[in-house]
Amino acid sequence: MEPQVTTFPGTEFTSRGPVEAGLAGDKPREECGVFGVFGDRDAAGMTYCGLMALQHRGQESAGIAVGDGERVRVRKGMGLVSEVFEVEQVKTLRGHIAVGHVRYSTTGTSLLANAQPLLIKYRLGRLALAHNGNLTNAAGLRHDLEEQGSIFQTTADTEVIAHLVARASGHGFEESVVTALGSITGAFALVMMSQDTLVGARDAYGIRPLSIGKVGSAYILASETCAIDAVGGEHIRDVEPGEAVFIDRSGMRSLQALERKGDALCVFEYIYFARPDSDLRDLNVHAVRKELGRRLARAYPVEADLVTGVPDSSVSAASGYAEEARIPYEMGLVKNRYIGRTFIQPSQSMREFDVKLKLNPLRRVLSQKRVVLVDDSIVRGTTSKYIVQLLRDAGAAEVHLRISSPPYRSSCYYGIDTSATKELIASAKSVEQVREYVGADTLGYLPVKELLDTVGRSAAGHCLACFTGEYPVPVPEGTCKYLFEEGGHHDPT
């Protein structure tokens, strides 16, 4: 089927059919990835490469906005970056400034209207926004804006920010952005652009990551340093909590747009979300995961014949466990990377079928072996249960499950799509009950203290809400992914 293309003045949207998503299973879903460029003649091409590097952060939709100083154009669509954009199409998006986005929906359904960057036309010209995170006060702000006559075109909380910037535009672009940032709470890493200025901003706690880089004289903003590496850039520093950076032809200037409330980077970035070749707070993600595995081996030793990890996010931790325990590391599971994405399925049987398509055990490696299976988390327990059985069916004599994070007990409201708290297995079951459910011979979770010691911070230095239930930013009752959908509601339990 040919892509559907609708063109408005200065704006292009594409849709490539039904919404698809990644493996529906026992993991928190990806969040989003943002990327921005100022000062390169092929800003769109550079943004395309950056988004390819950030593809792991969201596979529902992708988009690029590009400006040449006078005009801003957007092209976006449903699917992977490579599905939405053809190389020849990217070449037609000319300009020296661009922002890009890959999305996994954490507020609003997966629809073309919610794909980003969002583009608006207002009194100061054009504004394109791309957002990673969730606004905890979006419902109240949207209600007030609608009461004042604002008309919303999407069900994403990002559009609230656009309306706030537009309403404050009488004071000029820079001040309107700062005023808008002062009105929102929650977790956010934003990149936005006018015709001639690129902006990056983080929430007051720095929950969502955002880094600054340079390629020659061009500036880069990216969710992860791996995207800066992908375009041949050099990582300069991270955007600080509450900071806004403005980049134009005169260079980069920084404003403390919000009072800094803390330093609470989402610790799950280290455990699962970020790519292993990214650096967070000057720590390499692969090195952190490997150390988590070492600490896990010291905390929960076991006699075994081999160690294996669930590909791909758990391989680093598994190799660390194997080295510390002096047990051989083997490839026990192979991930099929070429079947494409599978549709989200509501039934458990279809979720298990998704796993079977994605993972296949190496029977000759596993047969009659005592296996240590390392994974990064257990969320609902359903996929963990299936993988343990997969190893047993392949002939494993014993399966000892080791998790390189603490028990996942509470939902995230800051930009990660997790199940309701009542669906999180560790919220209602003891470790022994979880072990019985997943069918492992033994089960060990990494203690919170070991996690914090690994990343070199106290509990105050990270968001640990998914493990502790202590939220750095208060979460209003009723907050949920589909809050702005017709009939949207939230069951806080």
Q: Could you tell me which of 192, 132, 189, 187 has the C-alpha nearest to residue 164?
A: 192
- CA dist 57 and 54 (Å) reads 6
The CA radius of gyration of the chain, in Å to the nearest whole number, is 22
- Who's near 162: CB < 8 A, 6+ residues apart? 118, 120, 127, 129
CB of 404 within 8 A of CB of 125?
no
In the DSSP assignment, the letter for residue 384 is: H
Please, what sign has the CA dihedral across residues 113, 150, 484, 118?
Answer: positive
Residue 428's CB is within 10 A of a number of other CB atoms, namely: 12
- CA dist 359 and 434 (Å) reads 22
Give residue 35's identity as a one-letter amino acid code.
F
Note if 412 is an active site residue.
no
- CA dist 279 and 224 (Å) reads 7
Alpha helix (H) residue ranges in 85-157: 87-91, 138-147
Q: Say which residue the tokens 């010291």 belong to.
A: 298
Residue 111 buriedness (CB in 10 A; 0-12 / 13-18 / 19+): middle
State how beta strands 32-38 and 218-222 pair: antiparallel
The two three-digit tokens of residue 97, written as one number: 């400034």
- Who's near 139: CB < 8 A, 6+ residues apart? 476, 478, 479, 483, 484
CB of 102 within 8 A of CB of 32?
yes
CB of 136 within 8 A of CB of 186?
yes
Residue 488's CB is within 10 A of a number of other CB atoms, namely: 16
Helix (H, G, I), strand (E, B), or coil: what is residue 248? strand
Torsion region of 4: left, alpha or beta (phi above 0 gives left; psi -120 to 50 gives alpha): beta
- Given the residues 32, 226, 266, 466, select the one marked as catalytic: 32
CB of 443 within 8 A of CB of 384?
no
Q: Could you tell me which of 191, 208, 31 has the C-alpha nearest to residue 100?
A: 191
Residue 175's CB is within 10 A of a number of other CB atoms, namely: 13
The two three-digit tokens of residue 181, written as one number: 């940032």
Residue 103's CB is within 10 A of a number of other CB atoms, namely: 29
Active site amino acids: 32
